[in-house]
């Protein structure tokens, strides 16, 4: 069937939330609920269109060439440099459309409840979040890297604004600044890469620069540098080592923002960028290796920082960084193998590489669902206890049955327990990395790191769950329970609060629970996408589709040929959960005692200090850059301007009397001009004569 | 073409000039003077807008040629003529001049001291800048170049801050000395061209037609003299120290015009006069001096790109250290004009186009920034960043406008500064490859000083250092000009081709050595 007419409507997708941005932004104050309903409506409409188009694209509706494209010339900078704006739809776009629009809709619905108490400020919230959804969808739909960069910067702006939503809080204002500036460092690299690519191809359109003839026709060294620098942008946006330290601070924003922007969508933009660049990247295997190493190291390092974080949102933030590292690891490992295979003409290696690409994208999708679920559940907890410190929680299971259950599902999923979604994609990533050891020994090390990360992931997630929901009730839990009982009696019969009572005394309102339940279902089930029809990898792939039925999958990857890999990853997860269970639930292991041992204490504190990165960034900003600027300021005032003033004093002393210029200014001025002109002319005549140039007056 | 038999450019020039003189002598009738000045600048803007649409209708093939040319001989013995004309480079600048003058006058609505003279000077200033952008005769170009100085001097010296005497004299001496060096270059061209042509003329087009054949040494020296005049005006480091002082002391509207228009005269001079007239100074194909180690790079390029990169980075680093927000904005102008210089130094079509677009974009953006400094000064009584804080809670509209201005200035896509910045960096890479790594650092530095300033001024807890009695959001005469500028910043940011389409054909002509 011909879906061209449908695809031509794709430009409406980002427009819908932007209409909401305009309506709520300009008129929100006059609307009841400050525009929340409008935002939900238009974002949901964008979702419906997104899902329709994605469905068409994924079920064979795309044109023969594998993508649909339309574009127009946005601005012509010169004969060789034209910037286009357009729409590009292929399977990867479709996947991103599904993830972004779906999670966005759920988060905006959830926000109706979560932000309910913010009053008039909800206008600003819904304005900014609508803009975010619009530009994020634009980013996904862009048909060239420059357009992607434009939206890339705009999602960064929304992230900045929303992290600083409670801008009176100095910590929030500071976190927003940090997020903007650290990602900006990555963006500078992105811009450098973009300029190189733009100059190399005189275009940044996917359809142009991905064609093998074009790629073969350019200088391969420049191409390598171009993609290397563009990957720098991904490092900043997706919070990878060494630009990762902004993301934990970004938790200063509302939890809904953390869920949508800093877990499910915007931070994935870096992964998406790498996936998009794949046709170029496979010609630069060194960069692929770098991507894998950065991903692996980040995954491990971020997981260690999550081990002892006292703050529930921070644990999830570190976890996000860690999981993003997994995705880069998969893409890098797969891409490296593909690049080698391409060079050697080794078909088998290319197939393995293509599978790594699919594994990374698969994890991107699964992670979006279970991490959004975890964040929104945490939001529900914070909404109830009004603290983010896990030490003050505890025993919440009794008060928040639904929340505790869905969060358990999310934790199991991210820990990689079969058959939840996280299991399938994580296992595929580990298999890819293991496969890569044959081509570079580095991957063996990365595999070990990845397995350790899996173990730590299971441990810190269940540490979080036990500390929050199990055990004795903490002070915040008690306080909240007492307060909510009182509140319940007070507001009995009042229309304003009736929706809060639908789930017992304490649970979050239904607008918050419904999205949680939907996401929980996905956290369980989205992994089965691998087996639906001819499988996830038969539609999301790089160059080589991987079409097999469920039996083949299970046999080849899970309980057959390489079953020991599956057992290792499962064992890591189970061990992690068990350790958390005995430490934080059964209290068989005395965690505080271990932490205060002289051998462990420094390590423990180092993790709390995030390996000193926070201080390091501050040092660079406050001491080096700012210190240099103060020194330059001194130089500017004392030396450069000092010379100017000294010179003018000299003239004043010699009697010229600058002050006279003020008296009878116009006459003096006329005199200066005329006198100066005459003097200059005479001087010129003289000079020209000296140089022997003929003068014709 | 609507204006076949109408001297439209003369009307555009005379209107603010006459209006200014009339307003100047209105004496005590302050209200009338304000209304009159506003009306005159509004009519000027309307004419400029109609002209711009009409110009666009000519088709891009003609954007490289001068249109609406008026050519009258004035003093034939000396070769002085009255020649006006606009092309794709000057048209956006003319429109920008008309727009910025209008918003500056509107923003000055609360002026109470010698109002009629103030308004008169604003209009005369507008006429002066329009003259610079439209005259194609060196004599009148120079006269108007100097005419611009006088109203700006008085605006600072009479309506300025506490150190206005120092600042105004400094401004005057710096720019005047530079003008004289430029004049020297003009005279050299005049005499030399007279020899080649057989008759004396100040006609830029005629001089350009022969100047390309002059001795390379001569061309290089004259280019240097002109450049000296222009870079002092832009200004480039190390000739910049007059600018922060002038801005700090100038009244807000004066700062707006100074940064949005007067600085552009310098970069306009480079691309309008120096480049097409004297290709032998910079063009390898015309035989310009080449750096021995880097064939393909001329010495003039090296000088210009050094000035550009140093100014970009120097200005940006200076911004970080500033406590007075107006001084910070002033240094940011130096940084951005450094970008223009760097783009020009590439001598590529994309570079020149990006440079001209940056001139236009910076004009709009810097207007917002200086007005916001004025708003802060007015509402809080201080511009010192450490004394401010948390203002977003009390003045959300002002905070939003300030944020848009800052974001535009740091090159956020979707706002007008982005395309200029992208073009500048692309052209830098095209011309100088890895040298790109130096100027592009300014992208991060620019973000740093703006974002940090925003954090300290708008966010955090509300400051306790100032009297919050009078702290309220934008007044109408502040909101109106700011909203107008923000609308154009967003509009041209979303549709940059509306301006860029004028520029690209015109700069191509400059590169080809055509005048």
What are the pLDDT digits (tens) for A44-65? 999 999 999 999 999 888 888 8
Cβ contact, residue pair A632, B318, below 8 Å: yes
pLDDT at residue A669, rounded to an integer:
58
For residue A675, give the chain B residue with the closest CA: B180
Read off the pTM.
Answer: 0.93
Cβ contact, residue pair A154, B413, below 8 Å: yes
Q: What is the largest CA-CA distance in chain A?
A: 104
**In this complex, which of B146, B350, B414 lies closest to A150 when CB atoms are compared?**
B414
Domain span at residue B107 reads 8-511
pLDDT at residue A597 greater than cutoff 60: yes
* Chain A interface, best mutation among B460, B493, B509, by max A CB count within 10 A: B460
Beta strand extents in B134-215 (DSSP E only): none
pLDDT at residue A682, rounded to an integer:
65
Q: Alpha-carbon distance A468 to A390, whole Å?
A: 6
pLDDT at residue A655, rounded to an integer:
54
Cβ contact, residue pair A695, B191, below 8 Å: yes
**In this complex, which of A149, A184, A632 lies closest to B317 when CB atoms are compared?**
A632
Show residues of chain B in contact with A677, CB under 8 Å. 180, 183
Show residues of chain B in contact with A625, CB under 8 Å. 317, 320, 445, 448
* CA within 13 Å, CB half, A598: 0
- Please compute the mean of the pLDDT values over residues A332-337 and round it to a whole number: 95
Q: Alpha-carbon distance A10 to A483, whole Å?
A: 48
Run means of pLDDT, 10 residues per run, chain B, 515 residues: 82 95 90 95 96 89 89 87 94 97 95 91 96 95 90 92 89 88 92 90 93 92 95 92 94 95 96 94 90 89 95 96 95 97 95 97 96 92 91 92 96 94 95 94 95 94 82 90 96 95 92 82
SS3 of B317-383: the string is HHHHHCCEHHHHHHHHHHHHHHHHHHHHHHCCHHHHHHHHHHHHHHHHHHHHHHHHHHHHHHHHCCC
**In this complex, which of B191, B317, B426 lies closest to A199 when CB atoms are compared?**
B426
**In this complex, which of B172, B452, B497 lies closest to A76 when CB atoms are compared?**
B497
* Chain B interface, best mutation among A26, A76, A78, by max B CB count within 10 A: A78
User: Structure tokens of A443?
Assistant: 């991957």
Phi, psi (rounded to 5 degrees) for A70: -145, 145
Cβ contact, residue pair A78, B419, below 8 Å: no
Show residues of chain A in contact with B353, CB under 8 Å. 77-78
Cβ contact, residue pair A180, B447, below 8 Å: yes
Give the count of beta carbons closer than 10 Å to the beta carbon of residue A682. Answer: 10
For B407-417, b where at least 16 C-beta lie within 10 A, e where not — what string? bbbbbbbbbbb
Cβ contact, residue pair A697, B349, below 8 Å: no
Cβ contact, residue pair B412, A153, below 8 Å: yes
- Please compute the mean of the pLDDT values over residues A446-469 and round it to a whole number: 95
Show residues of chain B in contact with A188, CB under 8 Å. 440-441, 443-444
pLDDT at residue A488, rounded to an integer:
54
Contacts of A602 (CB under 8 A, 6+ apart): none
Please compute Rg for chain A using Cα positions: 30
Q: At what angle do helices A665-691 and B164-197 cross, to 10 degrees?
A: 40
Q: Alpha-carbon distance A147 to A204, whole Å?
A: 9
Q: Specify whether the backbone of B283 is left (phi greater than 0), alpha (psi in -120 to 50) or beta.
A: beta
* Chain A interface, best mutation among B142, B210, B320, B497, by max A CB count within 10 A: B320
SS3 of B325-340: the string is HHHHHHHHHHHHHHHH
**In this complex, which of A199, A630, A683 lies closest to B429 when CB atoms are compared?**
A199
In 3D space, the residue among A437, A379, A378, A435 whose CA is nearest the CA of residue A408 turns out to be A378
For residue A630, give the chain B residue with the closest CA: B321
Give the count of beta carbons closer than 10 Å to the beta carbon of residue A683. Answer: 12
In 3D space, the residue among A260, A255, A250, A257 whose CA is nearest the CA of residue A172 turns out to be A250
Q: Is residue B3 part of a domain?
A: no
Work out the pLDDT band at A683, boundaries 50, 70, 90: low
Contacts of A586 (CB under 8 A, 6+ apart): none
Q: Alpha-carbon distance A659 to B169, whole Å?
A: 9
User: Structure tokens of B400?
Assistant: 């939003």
pLDDT at residue B391, rounded to an integer:
92
Cβ contact, residue pair B452, A177, below 8 Å: yes
Show residues of chain A in contact with B413, CB under 8 Å. 149-151, 153-154
Q: Alpha-carbon distance A223 to A231, whole Å?
A: 12
pLDDT at residue A493, rounded to an integer:
42
DSSP assignment of A167-189: TTSHHHHHHHHHHHHHHHHHHHH
For residue B436, give the chain A residue with the closest CA: A192
Show residues of chain A in contact with B184, CB under 8 Å. 680, 683-684
* Chain B interface, best mutation among A26, A29, A72, A75, by max B CB count within 10 A: A75
pLDDT at residue A1, rounded to an integer:
66
DSSP assignment of B453-472: HHHHHTSSSPPSSS--TT--
Cβ contact, residue pair A696, B429, below 8 Å: no
Is residue A86 within 8 Å of A140, Cβ to Cβ? no
Distance from CA of B209 to the nearest CA of A (A): 18
**In this complex, which of A78, A641, A695 lies closest to B353 when CB atoms are compared?**
A78
Q: Alpha-carbon distance A269 to A590, whole Å?
A: 41
Lowest mean pLDDT among A188-202, A280-294, A519-533: A519-533
Long-range contacts of B54-59 (CB under 8 A, 24+ apart): B54/B1, B54/B2, B54/B3, B55/B86, B55/B91, B55/B502, B56/B501, B56/B502, B57/B1, B58/B1
Is residue A353 within 8 Å of A344, Cβ to Cβ? no
Q: Is residue B163 part of a domain?
A: yes
Is residue A260 within 8 Å of A104, Cβ to Cβ? yes
Q: Which of helix, strand or coil describes residue A416?
A: coil
Cβ contact, residue pair A697, B165, below 8 Å: no
In 3D space, the residue among B330, B299, B295 whose CA is nearest the CA of residue B315 turns out to be B330
pLDDT at residue A188 greater than cutoff 80: yes
pLDDT at residue A692, rounded to an integer:
55
Cβ contact, residue pair B429, A676, below 8 Å: no
Please compute Rg for chain B using Cα positions: 22
- Please compute the mean of the pLDDT values over residues A626-641 and round it to a whole number: 92
pLDDT at residue A201 greater than cutoff 90: yes
For residue A75, give the chain B residue with the closest CA: B497
pLDDT in tens, A80-128: 899 999 999 999 999 999 999 999 999 999 999 999 888 889 999 999 9
Is residue A144 within 8 Å of A93, Cβ to Cβ? no
Pairs of CB atoms within 8 A across A/B: 185
For chain B, give percent helix, strand, coil, nearest 5: 75, 5, 20
Show residues of chain A in contact with B496, CB under 8 Å. 74-75
pLDDT at residue A125, rounded to an integer:
95
Distance from CA of A164 to the nearest CA of B (A): 8
Is residue A460 within 8 Å of A302, Cβ to Cβ? no
pLDDT at residue A496, rounded to an integer:
43
Long-range contacts of A630-633 (CB under 8 A, 24+ apart): A630/B321, A632/B314, A632/B317, A632/B318, A632/B321, A633/B318, A633/B321, A633/B322
Phi, psi (rounded to 5 degrees) for A82: -120, 130
**In this complex, which of B348, B426, B447 lies closest to A181 when CB atoms are compared?**
B447
* CA distances for A103 relative to A109, A264, A536, B56, B103, angstroms: 10, 7, 19, 46, 44
Give the count of beta carbons closer than 10 Å to the beta carbon of residue A189. Answer: 21
Cβ contact, residue pair A630, B321, below 8 Å: yes
Cβ contact, residue pair A680, B180, below 8 Å: yes
User: Structure tokens of B246?
Assistant: 């002038």
Q: Alpha-carbon distance B96 to B365, whole Å?
A: 11
pLDDT at residue B296, rounded to an integer:
85
Q: List the beta bridge partners of residue B324.
A: B384
pLDDT at residue A506 greater than cutoff 70: no
Tell me whether residue B262 is exposed, middle or buried, using C-beta atoms within 10 angstroms of its C-beta: 0 to 12, 13 to 18, 19 or more.
Answer: buried
Give the count of beta carbons closer than 10 Å to the beta carbon of residue B380. Answer: 22
Show residues of chain A in contact with B157, CB under 8 Å. 662
Show residues of chain A in contact with B455, CB under 8 Å. 173-174, 176-177
Is residue A358 within 8 Å of A338, Cβ to Cβ? no
Show residues of chain A in contact with B393, CB under 8 Å. 167-168
Helix (H) or strand (E) holding A74: strand A68-78
Cβ contact, residue pair A636, B318, below 8 Å: yes
User: Structure tokens of B129?
Assistant: 């800048």
pLDDT at residue B28, rounded to an integer:
85
pLDDT at residue A676, rounded to an integer:
61
Q: Is residue B91 part of a domain?
A: yes
pLDDT at residue A495, rounded to an integer:
42
Work out the pLDDT band at A675, boundaries 50, 70, 90: low
Cβ contact, residue pair A640, B238, below 8 Å: yes
pLDDT at residue A501, rounded to an integer:
41
- Please compute the mean of the pLDDT values over residues A253-267 and round it to a whole number: 95
Distance from CA of B352 to the nearest CA of A (A): 9
Cβ contact, residue pair B321, A164, below 8 Å: no
**In this complex, which of A157, A164, A673 lies closest to B412 when CB atoms are compared?**
A157
Q: Is residue B31 part of a domain?
A: yes
**Residue located via tokens 């004297």:** B278
Cβ contact, residue pair B184, A680, below 8 Å: yes
pLDDT at residue A670, rounded to an integer:
58
Report the number of distinct structural domains present in chain B: 1
Q: How many helices and strands, by DSSP H and E, does chain B display?
A: 21, 2
Angle at B113 between CA B108 and CA B118, to 5 degrees: 55
Cβ contact, residue pair B390, A75, below 8 Å: no
The residues spanned by each domain of chain A are 667-697
Distance from CA of B12 to the nearest CA of A (A): 26
Give the count of beta carbons closer than 10 Å to the beta carbon of residue A290. Answer: 17
Q: Alpha-carbon distance A160 to A157, whole Å?
A: 5
Show residues of chain A in contact with B153, CB under 8 Å. 665
Alpha carbon distance, N-terminus to C-terminus of chain B:
22
pLDDT at residue A691, rounded to an integer:
57
Work out the pLDDT band at A487, boundaries 50, 70, 90: low
Is residue A331 within 8 Å of A481, Cβ to Cβ? no
Cβ contact, residue pair A648, B173, below 8 Å: yes
Show residues of chain A in contact with B318, CB under 8 Å. 629, 632-633, 636
- Please compute the mean of the pLDDT values over residues A414-436 and round it to a whole number: 92
Q: Is residue B489 part of a domain?
A: yes
**Residue located via tokens 């007492």:** A482
pLDDT at residue B5, rounded to an integer:
81
């Amino acid at each position: 069937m011909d879906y061209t007419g449908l695809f031509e409507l794709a430009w409406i997708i980002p427009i819908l939330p932007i209409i909401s941005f305009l309506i709520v932004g300009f008129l929100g104050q006059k609307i009841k609920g400050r525009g929340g309903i409008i935002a939900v409506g238009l974002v949901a409409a964008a979702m419906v269109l997104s899902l329709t188009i994605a469905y068409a694209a994924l079920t064979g509706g795309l044109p023969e060439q594998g993508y649909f494209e339309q574009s127009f010339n946005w601005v012509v900078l010169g004969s060789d440099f034209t910037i286009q704006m357009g729409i590009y739809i292929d399977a990867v776009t479709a996947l991103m459309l599904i993830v972004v629009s779906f999670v966005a809709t759920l988060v905006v619905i959830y926000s109706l409840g979560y932000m309910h108490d913010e009053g008039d400020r909800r206008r600003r919230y819904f304005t900014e979040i609508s803009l975010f959804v619009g530009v994020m969808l634009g980013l996904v739909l862009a048909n060239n890297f420059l357009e992607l960069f434009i939206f890339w910067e705009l999602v960064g702006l929304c992230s900045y604004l929303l992290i600083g939503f409670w801008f009176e809080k100095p910590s929030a204002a500071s976190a927003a600044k940090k997020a903007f500036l650290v990602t900006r460092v990555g963006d500078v690299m992105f811009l450098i890469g973009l300029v190189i690519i733009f100059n190399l191809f005189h275009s940044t359109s996917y359809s142009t620069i991905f064609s093998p003839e074009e790629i073969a026709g350019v200088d391969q060294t420049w191409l390598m540098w171009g993609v290397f620098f563009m990957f720098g942008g991904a490092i900043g946006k997706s919070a990878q080592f060494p630009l990762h330290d902004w993301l934990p601070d970004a938790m200063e924003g509302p939890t809904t923002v953390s869920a949508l922007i800093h877990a499910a969508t915007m931070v994935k933009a870096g992964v998406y960028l790498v996936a998009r660049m794949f046709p170029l990247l496979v010609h630069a295997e060194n960069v692929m290796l770098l991507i894998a190493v950065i991903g692996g190291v980040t995954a491990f390092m971020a997981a260690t920082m999550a081990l002892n974080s006292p703050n529930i949102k921070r644990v999830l933030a570190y976890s996000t960084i860690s999981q993003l590292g997994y995705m880069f690891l998969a893409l890098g490992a797969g891409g490296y193998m593909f690049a080698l295979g391409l060079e050697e003409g080794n078909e088998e290696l290319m197939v393995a590489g293509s599978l790594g690409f699919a594994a990374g994208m698969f994890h991107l999708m699964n992670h979006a669902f279970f991490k959004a679920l975890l964040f929104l559940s945490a939001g529900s907890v914070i909404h109830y206890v009004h603290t983010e410190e896990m030490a003050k929680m505890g025993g919440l299971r009794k008060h928040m049955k639904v929340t505790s259950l869905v969060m358990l599902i999310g934790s199991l999923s991210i820990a990689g327990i079969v058959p939840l979604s996280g299991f399938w994609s994580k296992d595929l990533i580990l298999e890819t990395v293991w496969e890569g050891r044959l081509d570079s020994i580095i991957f063996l090390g990365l595999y070990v790191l990845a397995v350790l990360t899996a173990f730590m992931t299971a441990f810190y997630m269940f540490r979080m769950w036990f500390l929050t929901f199990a055990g004795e009730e903490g002070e915040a839990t008690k306080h909240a329970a007492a307060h909510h009982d009182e509140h319940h009696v007070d507001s009995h019969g009042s229309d304003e609060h009736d929706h809060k009572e639908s789930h017992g005394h304490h649970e979050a309102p239904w607008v918050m629970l419904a999205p949680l339940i939907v996401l929980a279902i996905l956290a369980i089930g989205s992994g089965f996408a691998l087996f639906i029809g001819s499988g996830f990898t038969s539609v999301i792939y790089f160059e080589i589709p991987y079409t097999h039925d469920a039996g083949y999958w299970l046999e080849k990857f899970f309980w057959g040929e390489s079953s020991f890999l599956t057992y290792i990853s499962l064992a890591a997860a189970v061990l992690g959960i068990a350790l958390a269970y005995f430490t934080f639930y059964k209290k068989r292991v005395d965690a505080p005692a271990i932490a205060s041992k002289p051998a462990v204490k420094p390590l423990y504190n180092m993790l709390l200090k995030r390996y000193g990165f926070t201080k390091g960034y501050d040092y660079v900003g406050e001491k080096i850059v700012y210190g240099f600027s103060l020194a330059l300021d001194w130089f500017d005032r004392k030396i450069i301007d000092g010379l100017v003033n000294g010179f003018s004093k000299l003239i004043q002393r010699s009697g010229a009397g600058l002050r006279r210029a003020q008296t009878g200014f116009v006459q003096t001025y006329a005199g200066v001009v005329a006198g100066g002109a005459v003097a200059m002319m005479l001087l010129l005549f003289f000079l020209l004569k000296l140089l022997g140039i003929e003068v014709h007056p | 073409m609507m204006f076949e038999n109408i001297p439209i450019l003369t009307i555009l020039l005379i209107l603010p000039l006459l209006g200014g003189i009339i307003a100047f002598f209105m004496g005590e009738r302050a209200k009338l003077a304000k209304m009159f000045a506003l009306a005159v600048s509004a009519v000027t803007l309307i004419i400029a807008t109609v002209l711009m649409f009409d110009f666009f209708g000519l088709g891009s093939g003609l954007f490289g040629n001068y249109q609406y040319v008026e050519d009258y001989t004035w003093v034939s013995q000396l070769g002085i003529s009255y020649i006006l004309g606009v092309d794709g480079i000057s048209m956006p600048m003319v429109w920008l001049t008309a727009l910025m003058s209008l918003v500056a006058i509107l923003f000055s609505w609360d002026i109470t001291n010698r109002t009629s003279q103030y308004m008169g000077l604003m209009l005369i200033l507008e006429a002066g800048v329009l003259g610079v952008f439209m005259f194609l005769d060196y004599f009148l170009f120079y006269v108007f170049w100097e005419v611009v100085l006088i109203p700006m001097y008085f605006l600072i010296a009479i309506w300025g801050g506490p150190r206005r005497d120092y600042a105004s004299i400094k401004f005057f001496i710096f720019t005047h000395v530079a003008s004289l060096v430029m004049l020297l270059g003009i005279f050299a061209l005049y005499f030399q061209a007279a020899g080649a042509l057989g008759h004396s003329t100040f006609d830029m087009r005629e001089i350009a037609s022969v100047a390309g054949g002059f001795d390379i040494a001569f061309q290089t020296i004259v280019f240097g003299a002109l450049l000296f005049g222009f870079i002092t005006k832009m200004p480039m480091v190390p000739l910049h120290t007059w600018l922060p002082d002038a801005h700090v002391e100038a009244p807000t509207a004066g700062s707006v015009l100074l940064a949005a228009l007067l600085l552009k005269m310098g970069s306009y001079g480079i691309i309008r006069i120096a480049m097409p007239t004297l290709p032998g100074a910079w063009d390898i194909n015309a035989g310009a001096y080449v750096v021995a180690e880097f064939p393909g790079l001329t010495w003039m390029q090296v000088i210009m790109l050094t000035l550009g990169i140093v100014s970009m980075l120097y200005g940006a680093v200076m911004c970080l250290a500033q406590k007075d927000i107006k001084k910070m904005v002033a240094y940011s102008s130096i940084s951005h004009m450094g970008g223009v210089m760097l783009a020009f130094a590439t001598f590529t079509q994309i570079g020149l186009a990006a440079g001209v677009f940056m001139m236009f974009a910076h004009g709009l953006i810097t207007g917002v920034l200086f007005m916001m400094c004025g708003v802060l000064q007015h509402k809080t009584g201080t511009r010192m960043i450490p004394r401010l804080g948390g203002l977003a809670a009390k003045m959300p509209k002002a905070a939003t406008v300030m944020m848009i201005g800052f974001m535009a200035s740091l090159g956020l896509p979707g706002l007008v500064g982005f395309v200029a910045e992208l073009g500048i960096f692309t052209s830098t890479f095209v011309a100088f490859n890895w040298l790109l790594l130096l100027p592009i650092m300014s992208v991060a530095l620019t973000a740093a000083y703006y974002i940090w300033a925003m954090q300290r001024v708008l966010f955090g807890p509300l400051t306790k250092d100032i009297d919050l009695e009078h702290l309220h959001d934008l007044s109408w005469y502040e909101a109106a000009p700011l909203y107008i500028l923000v609308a154009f910043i967003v509009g041209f940011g979303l549709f940059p081709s509306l301006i860029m389409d004028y520029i690209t054909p015109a700069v191509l002509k400059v590169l080809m050595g055509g005048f």
